[in-house]
């Protein structure tokens, strides 16, 4: 058991905590815009900026979310540290807000068995609404109920001034029922807090939708299957009346719904994690059952079936997902692109992937998904927001923020190289179409052993200097008559220089 006696250091920290919090508000941490990554996608070259180390390491914990508040954003980490995130020219600043954690992790720590994964007890999502004197901030989170020795999922709210400072304390808007005890269950796990859903979205003024996961109470890991049962507010989309502090089931049969977005036409888009495979995108309709745990396109970890289902790989008898990912992407939040600078993405769904470390763009035809295009962001993506300027903002898991914009600078070497990337790689192996340009500046001509050069190229034995590359790109045929790249010419000297600089600086 944990030692509950406070040691002197802890006492000092507790006494100083308000001061420390105050001190952290000035100066805000800033993350400079790093060199962008240019991602070539089907319809847009995308400029990806990573703002790293935005939040101090001690405030970080997986989970958390970001929400737009006017022109700014409020971000929360899983640990319940709140930050005002603001764009200032080419920088992003993150200022610690003097808002307490809504969830009391210490009470959970004191009560829970040490084997419980503490990092799953967390703040999950945020939302806001405007008030006459400022804003009201909503947070969804786990809450330990000490008197009953069990746990609920709670939606709390706090009033903020116009400049986003707290006015008063957190108040409880809604608690799930029943309160869940930490039982070992059938398979030994006692707290599956990472399967809690927890997303918030406004259906109408005062009407807040709240998703809850079943936390493995699926009739297999734990004896009671809660998602399909009307007696348990887990595995549900719940409609909360914010003024009345009441909630009712809107839809059921969800596993771990971590994504929720209501589009301008009123469609409710939801994403949820399958077990192993079968992450779903659903259109949520009132009163419907989405089938978990009775049907899924996924299987259990380590086997080729999902025992509670009658049949493998079937969704029969329940609401069909709009789309399912196999293998799982670890679907987190999703949005629909409505009014963004990404013209060619209008109406598409963007789904954040945790395990896939990618953003997934779903092309829709009505409500049918035609295809899914993955964008390799190479980070676990927890949340997505559309900025007022049309940029797309991604909330990473480790105090990082990532912005996506349409790449505009036509002189950017990375962007110009997209033209070459149709044939050339820059990696250690060549594609079938052309030799890799790995370390091309200073490399011997025609020296790749994994590519079969043309007759004309095989006779070359010089070195690719910047000057020679410039001549080659100006007119390949003039430099190497009869070569296989004849049709590609870069007439503009500025562009040639940008491409060569880019290739040189890659290593
Ligand atoms: C349509 C396909 C295609 C495109 C587009 C293309 N290349 Fe090539 N490139 C080739 C092929 C094929 C070769 C090999 C030529 C041969 O064997 O005759 C080559 C050869 C080269 C070489 C010589 C490599 C070596 O191993 O000696 C360089 C440098 C090069 N390309 C640069 C570029 C750059 C920079 C761009 C973009 C502006 C570009 N290429 C666009 C097909 C292409």
Q: Which of 423, 450, 464 to mutate to test the pocket of ligand 1 (most atoms within 8 A of CB)?
A: 423
Q: What is the mean pLDDT of the chain?
A: 90
* CB within 8 Å of 67: residues ≥ 6 apart: 73, 74, 75, 126, 127, 128, 385
Comparison of pLDDT for 243 and 418, the residue scoring more? 243
Give the percent of the chain with pLDDT over 90.
74
Distance, CA 488 to ligand 1 centroid (Å)?
8
Distance, CA 412 to ligand 1 centroid (Å)?
19
Q: Which of 40, 413, 420, 469 to mutate to test the pocket of ligand 1 (most atoms within 8 A of CB)?
A: 420
Q: What is the mean pLDDT of residues 359-378?
A: 96
In this structure, the residue with its CA closest to atom 3 of ligand 1 is 423
Query: Which atom, in ligand 1's list, is nearest to the CA of 444?
Result: 27
In which residue are the tokens 């070539």 written?
Answer: 40
Distances (CA, A) of 229 to 224, 232, 244: 9, 6, 24
Q: Which 3 state secondary structure label does DSSP give 124?
A: strand
Whether the pLDDT of residue 1 is over 50: the answer is: no
Whether the pLDDT of residue 17 is over 80: the answer is: no
Whether the pLDDT of residue 418 is over 80: the answer is: yes
User: What pLDDT does residue 39 have?
Assistant: 86
User: What pLDDT does residue 37 have?
Assistant: 81
Whether the pLDDT of residue 489 is over 80: the answer is: yes
Contact 121, 9 (CB under 8 A): no
Instruction: List ligand 1's pocket residues with C-beta within 6 A.
Output: 419-420, 422-424, 433-435, 437, 440, 445-446, 448, 453-454, 456-457, 464, 469, 472-473, 483-485, 488, 490, 499
Q: What is the mean pLDDT of residues 233-242?
A: 98
Closest CA to 399 of 89, 111, 113, 82: 82
Confidence of residue 28 (pLDDT cuts 50, 70, 90): low
From 124-138, 404-418, 423-437, 493-507, the region with the lowest mean pLDDT: 404-418
Distance, CA 376 to ligand 1 centroid (Å)?
25
In this structure, the residue with its CA closest to atom 33 of ligand 1 is 420
Instruction: Name the H helices within 422-465.
Output: 455-458
Confidence of residue 59 (pLDDT cuts 50, 70, 90): confident
Q: Which of 412, 444, 469, 485 to mutate to test the pocket of ligand 1 (most atoms within 8 A of CB)?
A: 485
Confidence of residue 409 (pLDDT cuts 50, 70, 90): low
User: What pLDDT does residue 115 have?
Assistant: 67
Q: How far apart are CA 20 and CA 24, in angstroms?
A: 6
Domain annotation for the chain: domains and CATH numbers:
38-406 (2.120.10.30), 413-505 (1.10.760.10)
Closest CA to 459 of 449, 438, 448, 445: 445
User: What pLDDT does residue 23 have?
Assistant: 39
Whether the pLDDT of residue 403 is over 60: the answer is: yes
In this structure, the residue with its CA closest to atom 40 of ligand 1 is 420
Tens digit of each residue's pLDDT (9 = 90 or more) over 149-168: 999 999 999 999 999 999 99
Q: How far apart are CA 153 and CA 122, in angstroms?
A: 10
Whether the pLDDT of residue 434 is over 60: the answer is: yes
Distance, CA 435 to ligand 1 centroid (Å)?
7
The tokens for 339 are 């009014």
In this structure, the residue with its CA closest to atom 38 of ligand 1 is 420
From 170-179, 405-414, 427-436, the region with the lowest mean pLDDT: 405-414
User: What pLDDT does residue 132 have?
Assistant: 95
In this structure, the residue with its CA closest to atom 35 of ligand 1 is 420
Distance, CA 482 to ligand 1 centroid (Å)?
13
Comparison of pLDDT for 111 and 433, the residue scoring more? 433
Q: Which of 38, 467, 488 to mutate to test the pocket of ligand 1 (most atoms within 8 A of CB)?
A: 488
User: What pLDDT does residue 18 have?
Assistant: 40
Tens digit of each residue's pLDDT (9 = 90 or more) over 296-352: 999 998 899 999 999 999 999 999 999 999 999 999 999 999 988 899 999 999 999
Comparison of pLDDT for 157 and 41, the residue scoring more? 157
User: What pLDDT does residue 155 have?
Assistant: 98
Query: Which atom, in ligand 1's list, is nearest to the CA of 416?
Result: 38
From 24-33, 240-249, 461-470, the region with the lowest mean pLDDT: 24-33
Whether the pLDDT of residue 33 is over 80: the answer is: no
Confidence of residue 53 (pLDDT cuts 50, 70, 90): confident
Distance, CA 424 to ligand 1 centroid (Å)?
7
User: What pLDDT does residue 45 have?
Assistant: 85
Whether the pLDDT of residue 411 is over 80: the answer is: no
Query: Which atom, in ligand 1's list, is nearest to the CA of 448?
Result: 26
User: What pLDDT does residue 147 have?
Assistant: 94
Contact 196, 141 (CB under 8 A): no
Tens digit of each residue's pLDDT (9 = 90 or more) over 247-280: 999 999 999 999 999 999 999 999 999 999 999 9
Whether the pLDDT of residue 67 is over 60: the answer is: yes
Q: Which of 413, 418, 435, 464 to mutate to test the pocket of ligand 1 (most atoms within 8 A of CB)?
A: 435
Confidence of residue 505 (pLDDT cuts 50, 70, 90): confident
Contact 355, 330 (CB under 8 A): yes
């Amino acid at each position: 058991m944990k030692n509950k006696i406070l040691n002197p250091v802890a006492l000092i920290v507790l006494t100083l905590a308000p001061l420390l919090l105050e001190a952290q508000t000035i100066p805000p941490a800033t993350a400079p815009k790093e060199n962008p990554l240019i991602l070539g996608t089907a319809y847009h070259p995308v400029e990806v900026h990573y703002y790293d180390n935005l939040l101090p390491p001690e405030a970080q914990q997986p989970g958390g979310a970001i929400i737009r508040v006017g022109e700014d954003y409020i971000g929360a980490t899983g640990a319940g540290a709140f930050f005002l995130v603001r764009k200032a020219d080419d920088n992003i600043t993150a200022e610690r807000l003097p808002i307490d954690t809504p969830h009391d992790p210490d009470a959970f720590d004191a009560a829970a068995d040490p084997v419980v994964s503490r990092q799953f007890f967390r703040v999950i999502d945020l939302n806001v609404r405007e008030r006459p004197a400022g804003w009201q901030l909503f947070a969804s989170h786990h809450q330990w109920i000490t008197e009953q020795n069990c746990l609920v999922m709670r939606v709390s709210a706090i009033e903020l001034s116009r400049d986003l400072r707290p006015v008063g304390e957190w108040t409880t808007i809604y608690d799930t029922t029943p309160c869940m005890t930490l039982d070992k269950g059938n398979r030994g796990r006692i707290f599956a807090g990472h399967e809690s859903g927890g997303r918030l979205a406004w259906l109408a003024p005062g009407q807040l939708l709240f998703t809850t996961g079943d936390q493995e109470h699926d009739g297999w890991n734990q004896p009671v299957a809660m998602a399909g049962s009307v007696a348990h507010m887990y595995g549900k989309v719940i409609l909360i009346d914010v003024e009345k502090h009441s909630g009712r089931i809107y839809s059921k049969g969800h596993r771990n719904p971590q994504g929720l977005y209501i589009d301008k036409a009123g469609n409710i888009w939801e994403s949820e994690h399958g077990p192993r495979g079968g992450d779903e995108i659903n259109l949520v309709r009132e009163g419907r059952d989405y089938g978990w745990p009775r049907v899924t396109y996924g299987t259990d970890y380590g086997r080729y079936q999902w025992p509670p289902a009658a049949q493998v790989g079937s969704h029969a008898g329940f609401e069909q997902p709009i789309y399912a990912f196999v293998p799982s992407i670890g679907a987190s939040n999703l949005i629909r692109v409505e009014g963004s600078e990404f013209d060619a993405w209008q109406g598409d769904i963007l789904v954040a992937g945790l395990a896939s470390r990618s953003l997934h763009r779903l092309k829709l035809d009505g409500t049918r998904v035609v295809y899914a295009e993955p964008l390799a962001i190479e980070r676990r993506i927890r949340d997505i927001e559309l900025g007022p300027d049309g940029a797309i903002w991604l909330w990473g898991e480790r105090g990082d923020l990532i912005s996506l914009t349409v790449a505009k600078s036509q002189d950017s070497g990375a962007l110009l190289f997209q033209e070459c990337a149709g044939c050339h790689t820059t990696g250690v192996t060549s594609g079938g179409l052309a030799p890799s340009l790995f370390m091309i500046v200073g490399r011997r001509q025609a020296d790749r052993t994994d590519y079969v050069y043309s007759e004309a190229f095989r006779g070359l034995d010089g070195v690719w200097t910047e000057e020679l590359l410039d001549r080659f790109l100006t007119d390949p045929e003039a430099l190497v008559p009869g070569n296989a790249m004849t049709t590609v010419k870069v007439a503009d000297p500025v562009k040639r220089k940008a491409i060569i600089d880019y290739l040189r600086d890659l290593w």
